[in-house]
Every structure is written in C-alpha cells, then in structure tokens.
Chains A and B, each alone.
Chain A
Amino acid sequence: MMRSSVLVSAAVATLLVSASLVEAADNGPLKVGFLTVRSGALAAGGRQMEEGLKLCIDEHHGEMAGRKIEVITADTAGQPAVTKTKAQELVERDGAQVLIGPLAAFEALAIDDYIRQTKTPIISPSAAAEDLTQRKLNPWFVRAVGTSAQPYHPFGEYAAKELHYKKIAIIADDFAFGHEIAAGFQRMFEQNGGKIVQKLWSPLNTAEYGTYITQIDPSVDAVFAAFAGGNGIKFLSEYKNYGMQKPVLGSMTTVDEGILKRMGDEALGVISAGWYSAATDTPTNKKFVAAMRKAYGADPGYYSVGAYMACQFLNNALEQVKSDTSNKEAFMKALRNVNITDSPYGPVKIDKYGQPILDITIRNVEKKDGRLQNVVIKTYPSVSQFWTYGAEEFLKSPVYSRDWTPAK
C-alpha cells in the first residue's frame, strides 16, 4: 500500500512536471539549440558562427516576433559522433525546439536520421553538401547557405565566356565539398567551350602543396583552386614561392574573409565566386559588415554570415507563424517559405527543396581601405541550386563526385 502510493505520487509529480514543461514550451522563450565547434581543427569556423549568430540575436534584442529567444550552445568538436550526442542533449534534455548547426556536412549527415525521428526543425548555417537539398531530402531541414556547387555553375560560365579561358587545371580538397565544387565548375566551363585538362585531388590534410603545384600542366590558361579551412593560405603562398605565374581562380572558401585577413599579396588578383562577399556594396550589407567589424574587429565571411542568416531565417519564419511554434508542421512550412527581400546576401527565397535561391557574385581580391577584400565584379541574380536546368532534369544525373567527368 505504502509502496503503491509512493509510485502514484511519483507518477503524478512526473505528469505535473511534464505538463508544466509543455506549457513553458508554448509560452516561454523559444529554445534554440546551437551546434558549433569550439575545439579541434574546425574551431575557427565555429567561433565565426557564434559571432554571426550573436550579432543577429543582439540586433533583435533577444526577441523575435514578440517571443524571447534562448540560445543553448553545444560544442561538437567537429566530430560526427559527438554531434549526435550533443543534438540529443539539446533536444531531449534542454528542450530545444529548433536547431541551428552543425558546421560540417559530415556532422549534418550524422544527425540526419535523428532529425527525422524527432521531427526537429533544423537550419543549416554552413553545411553545403548538395544532396541534403537534392536527392536525400529531409523535410525538417532548411539551409541558409548555398550548396557546394551553386556558385560555380555561373563561375564556370564566367571563366569561359568573360575571362576567355580555354584550358584550366583544377586542384581541390579531396572530399565531397571539393568534389562538388569542382564538378559544378567543370560542367558549366565545358558547356561553354572550355576544357578541364587536369584534376588534382589533394588530401584535406596535405602537409605541403609543392608536389601538387609542380604537377600543374604548364599549358593551362588558369588554375581553379577549391580549398576549405586554412588550405587556401598554404596553397596560395606556396604557389607564389614556386614562381607560378598563371592566374588563380578560387572557390568562395579559398579566399574567404575568415582567412583572407591573414593572407598577403599572394592573394591579390584571385577571382572567385560565392553567395556572399563582405565587400558587397549595399546599405544592408554595409551596416552588417560595420557591426561585425565593430564587435569582432574583422570582416564577416562564410561562417559568420551563414549563422547570421540562419538566425534571420528563424526570425522570418517566427514572424510568419506569429511566434507560435506549437504546430511543428506549420512552423517548418514557414521555415521552408522564408522570403527575405533585403539581407547581406541580397534577396533570398527558398525553393521547394529547402535550398535558398541567391545572388551569386564574382569577386576579385583587391587591396581596399588597407586590407584585402573580395571586390564584386559581377552579380548573377537569383541563382538556383539547379542553375538553368529544371530540377527534375538536374536530379536525374548522379550527385557530383570525384569521378563526375574525367579531365581530358
């Protein structure tokens, strides 16, 4: 008798607690779980994401559509297994109702199933893997950055049509991000009459690029270098030290603002493409850059603007549902329906696969105001992840990979 009454009261207490939790979730602050990286090799990107997110939350004074925002941050260390544990902690222990993160595509893939099971809306501030919004759709996923290849369809065309290059050698990081960038570039470069004569895949942790630089075919018109993390720094300075003269085209991340600030003259004249440049000359972006420079003393780049925009997506969706997230499906629909006319990116809409349609800019590294900047030389407005192809047509071919089309 005694025992069962204890059990009953325990059960009642549990019910009461969970009832109050549910109530709190409805009226209390919106809990945002933020997966970032504070330790290990990806820590620099993680810190920039935190800076971008914080600026956005501060701009909104910690409140969106009248509802308080509470950010709970977790460090994944850039390791997929840890990412999964942290995502579970955020959702199950801390009661996060929406996630922003994680940083790397392999982390995003590690929690893909978990997101489906728990039906937790997630906004990706960085992971660019093509198939997340193409062939492996997750209804709870929306991305606040471009896909890996999104900027390089127009860039391939630009290299052929406007730079009049005929033969290009590609060197890229040997992982999915590098493969996808290279394939997107190659596809449109060759479609417009150019030829990729060589593809060099260097491991992500290549100690030194000398062996690769000296293999570059001397007959090419230019080299397209697609690197992530700090590899762009290493490659460009060694490229110069090897006395190489051929122009370098880069991916957005080869000369990202996050590392451009550490580079020297070797970066001058590198032409690249991306969905964002800190040098974009619009009032909204100027205001954003000024705020970032004031708060953190550096131009925003890939990671900071990605997290900032993920947070703006959240704001836009919350405004649509009037901050009521109790109906997850409706909230997710709003996230998939984000439409921002004016942002550091320029105008942004989401396609029906959860992928932003963005302005893509072609940028040239120049020294301006005493620092290196990606000065915009051309803008391709409203670029879809499928470029000019129809979605069905695009999705019929396999996802971009290392062996997408061999060099000729």
Chain B
Amino acid sequence: MNFWIIQGLNGLAFGSLLFILASGFSLIFGLMRIVNLSHGAYFMLGAYVGLSAIEAGANFWVAILLGGIAICVLGTLIERFVLRRLNGQPLAQVLVTLGIAFIIADACVWIWTGDPRPVPMPAELTGAFRVAQLAFPIYRLFVIGVAFALAAALWFLLERSRLGAMIRAGVDDLAMARAMGIRTSLLFSAVFCLGSALAGAGGVLAGPILSVYPGLDTDMLPLALVVVILGGVGSLLGAFVGSLIIGFIYSYGQALFPDLAYVILFLPMVLVLTLRPTGLFGRQAI
C-alpha cells in the first residue's frame, strides 16, 4: 500500500513539473503553430537566471519572478525579430528554434561554466513531511500545489478572460480573428511572452529538484514533446492530463518495470500517435 501511495505522490510531483514545462510549449504551439524547440533551453536558462539571482541575494520567490521575466523578454524578442520573419515557413521556424537552443546551451556553459549546480530551495520548504510510515519532501508537495494553481489560473485566463477569448479565436481561425479586428501581432507577442515566462519560471521552480547543468535542456525538451503529443497540441486540458499520465507512468513504470526505464515514457506516445494522431484532447495533429 505504501508503495502505491508514495510512488503516486512521486508521479504527481513529476507530472506537476512536466505540466509547468509543457503548458507554455502547448500554448505557443496552439496559437502560432510553432514547434518551439528552444523551450527546453528557455527552461534551463530560466533556472540559471534564478540561480544567479539567489546567489546575488534575492529570495527564492523573487528569483522565480526574475527567471520568468528574463525569459519572457528573450522569447518576445526572438518571436519579433526572428520567428516573425519566417512566417508561413514552419520548417524554417522549427530549425531556427533548434539553432537558438544550441546557442543558448553553449552560452550557458560559457557564462555559468559547465559545473552542475544545485538550486537552493527556500528554507521553509526543506525537509520531509511525515505521516505514519511515509515521508515525502515538502517541496514536492508545494510543486504539486503550484501546478494545480497554475492550471486553474491558465484555465481562467483562456476560458474566462478577454485575452483568452482572443487567443481561442486565433487558435480556431487566425484569418477570421484578424478580420474581426483582433491585433494578432500583439497577441502573438503576448502569448510567446507568457509561454516563455512559464518555461523560465518553471526552470527556477524545478531547480531544487532537478538542479541545473548543461544538458538539462535536452533532457527536458523530449518530455515536453511527449506530454504535448499525448495530450494533444494546443490543448490546456491535454497538457494537464498528459503531464499527470506521464508522471504516473514514469514513477510506477520505473519502479515496476525497471528494464523498460528508457522507453516507458515513449510507449504511450507511440500508441497515441498510432491510434489517435491528434492526441487525447487535441484537434490537430502536430
């Protein structure tokens, strides 16, 4: 019994991290049809920015904010000055984002050296929460809470706010939205900023669990892809459900079938792509 509870919590915590990572990716793809392969690099860069902020004396919450802002600015600039010039050329856009990911990765090695670095967690969240025989890190419970709060906030933003209505209009029919007078250029910038900020802030938030090291970007990007393909691109609900499913498969799967550790995350993706190419909740194939 303990096994199922503790691995369930592990899966929930990891799924929560994945949701924070994948939500921004999904948001950007949903509106702009850009497969942003820099997303993992944004995540890593955000974590490094947050780490530097903490080392400069900022507290953890400010560091998360700074990580988000820094990557929002970077993402917006890249969208404005690079991706927009390649409008209508999806392949070129994908390749550019991949190139940018390499540039960011090497810049990180250059600035922060290649040393793996732990990100200190806030003192009030250290240690384990104990109930009976079970012990679980308080910080992970906190991450689970953040992910659910974020899911609710994003749902509210997309489904209940004016900005959300514009985004949904853009996702459904871009040309028509434009004809209706929605300033899609501004909308694109806003969404790219938000998606990037989620990656950057998520990197800082994940830092105490994952630490920051060269290669974090390429470790995380495939996970974001798996979640989004499984859940359905451009669907918030899909990203949420997809993250949790992957989280559970990761924890139970690695514990129950250790020999499948490498493929276990990709099996459900293959199944879904074969049986339902749009993903569980998506309306278009990636």
Asked if B192 lies at the interface with its beta carbon under 8 angstroms from chain A, I say: no
Q: Which residue of A is nearest B117, CB measured?
A: A262
- CB < 8 Å neighbour of A43 from B118, B128, B214: B214
Q: Using a CB-CB cutoff of 8 Å, which residues 186-236 of chain A contact chain B?
A: 200-203, 205, 207-208, 210-212, 214-215, 229-230, 233-234
Partner of A243, one of B116, B128, B209, B214: B128
Q: How far is the CA of A212 from the CA of B251 in the complex (A)?
A: 9
Given A41-B213, A243-B130, residue A210 in contact with residue B10 (CB < 8 A): yes
B119 to A: closest C-beta gap in Å:
10
Q: Does A263 contact B (CB under 8 A)?
A: yes
- CB-based contact B116/A44 at 8 Å: yes
Instruction: Tell me if B172 is interfacial: C-beta within 8 Å of chain A.
Output: no
The minimal Cβ–Cβ distance linking B255 to chain A, given in whole angstroms, is: 5
**Given known contacts A44-B116, A203-B262, is B127 in contact with A241 (CB within 8 Å)?**
yes
Could you tell me the distance in whole angstroms from the C-beta of B155 to the nearest C-beta in chain A? 26
- Say yes or no for B159: interface residue by CB 8 A criterion: no
Residue of A nearest to B258 (CB): A201
**Contact among B211, B215, B220, B254 for A41, CB-based, below 8 A:** B215
Specify which of A42, A45, A208 is in contact with B210 (CB 8 Å cutoff). A208
Asked, given contacts A207-B223, A242-B128, A243-B127, whether A263 binds B118 with beta carbons under 8 Å apart, the answer is yes
- Contacts A43-B114, A229-B116, A238-B209; is A207 near B214 (CB within 8 Å)? no
B26 to chain A, nearest CB (A): 19
Given contacts A208-B209, A214-B7, A243-B135, contact A233 B116 (CB under 8 A): yes
- Please classify how large the interface on chain B is, using the bins under 10, 10 to 19, 20 to 34, 35 or more: 35 or more
Asked whether A241 lies within 8 Å of B118 as measured between CB atoms, the reply is no
Answer yes or no: A264 CB below 8 A from chain B CBs. yes
Assembled-state Cα–Cα distance A85/B126 (Å): 47
B206-234 vs A, Cβ < 8 Å mask (1 yes, 0 no): 00111101110011100100000000000
Chain A residues with Cβ below 8 Å from B209 are 208, 210, 238
Compute how far the CA of A244 lies from the CA of B114 in the bound complex, rounded to whole angstroms. Answer: 29
Given A41-B214, A207-B14, A47 and B114 contact (CB-CB distance below 8 Å): yes
Q: How far is the CB of A368 from chain B (nearest CB, A)?
A: 21
Do A242 and B137 touch across chains, with their CB atoms under 8 A apart? yes
**What CA separation (Å) do A258 and B137 show in the bound complex?**
27
B116 touches which of A214, A241, A259 (Cβ 8 Å) = A259
Which of chain B's residues have a CB closer than 8 A to the CB of A42? 114
Scoring B109, B114, B115 by chain A CB atoms within 10 A of each residue's CB, the highest score goes to B114
State whether B135 touches A207 (Cβ < 8 A).
no
Q: Are B215 and A241 in contact (CB under 8 A)?
A: no
- Given known contacts A40-B214, A238-B209, A258 and B250 CB-to-CB distance under 8 angstroms: no
B117 to chain A, nearest CB (A): 6
> Taking the complex as formed, is A39 at the interface, i.e. its CB lies under 8 A from any CB of chain B?
yes
- With a CB–CB cut-off of 8 A, which chain A residues contact B219? 205, 207
The answer on a CB contact under 8 Å between B213 and A211 is no
Inter-chain CA distance A39–B106, complex, in Å, is: 6
B210 touches A207 (CB 8 A): yes
Which secondary structure dominates where chain B touches chain A? helix
User: What residues of chain B lie closer than 8 Å to A47, measured between beta carbons?
Assistant: 113-114
**Residues in B neighbouring A242, C-beta threshold 8 A:** 128, 135-137
Let me know if A156 is at the binding interface, CB within 8 A.
Answer: no
Contact between A211 and B255, CB atoms less than 8 A apart: yes
Which residues of A have CB within 8 Å of B208?
A: 237
| Chain B 119-152 near chain A by CB (<8 Å), digits 1 or 0 | 0100000111010000111111000000000000
* Chain A residues with CB under 8 A of B106: 39
Q: Which of B66-105 contact A (CB under 8 A)?
A: 105
- Return chain B residues, CB-CB under 8 Å to A38: 109
**How far in angstroms is the closest Cβ of chain B from A109?**
21
Closest to B217 in A: A41
Contact of B261 among A45, A202, A244, A262 (CB under 8 A): A202
- The answer for the CA separation of A201 and B115 in the assembled complex, in Å, is 24
Interfacial chain A residues near B114, Cβ < 8 Å: 41-47
| In the complex, residue of chain A having the shortest beta-carbon distance to the beta carbon of B219 | A205
Separation of A201 and B120 alpha carbons in the complex (Å): 27
Taking the nearest CB of chain A, how far is it from the CB of B149, in angstroms?
21
Whether the pair A230, B10 counts as a contact (CB closer than 8 A) is no
Rounded to whole angstroms, the CA-CA distance of A210 and B247 in the bound complex is 12
| In the assembled complex, A351 has its CB within 8 A of some CB on chain B | no
A207 lies within 8 A of B220 (CB): yes
- Which residue of A is nearest B125, CB measured? A241
Partner of A241, one of B115, B128, B218, B262: B128
Residues B22-79 near A (CB distance < 8 A) = none
Chain A residues close to B by CB (< 8 Å): 38-47, 174, 200-203, 205, 207-208, 210-212, 214-215, 229-230, 233-234, 237-238, 241-244, 258-259, 262-264
Binding site for A on B (CB under 8 A): 6-7, 10-11, 13-14, 17, 105-106, 109, 113-118, 120, 126-128, 130, 135-140, 208-211, 213-215, 218-220, 223, 250-251, 254-255, 258, 261-262
Closest 7 CB pairs of A and B: A230-B116, A243-B128, A43-B114, A44-B114, A41-B215, A243-B135, A241-B137
Residue pairs across A and B with Cβ atoms less than 8 A apart, 9 shown, are: A174-B261, A203-B261, A208-B14, A233-B117, A234-B211, A237-B208, A241-B138, A243-B135, A259-B116
A sample of 17 more A-B contacts (CB under 8 A), given A234-B211, A262-B116, is: A39-B106, A40-B105, A205-B215, A207-B210, A208-B209, A210-B137, A211-B14, A211-B250, A215-B255, A230-B213, A234-B118, A241-B127, A241-B128, A241-B137, A244-B135, A259-B115, A259-B116
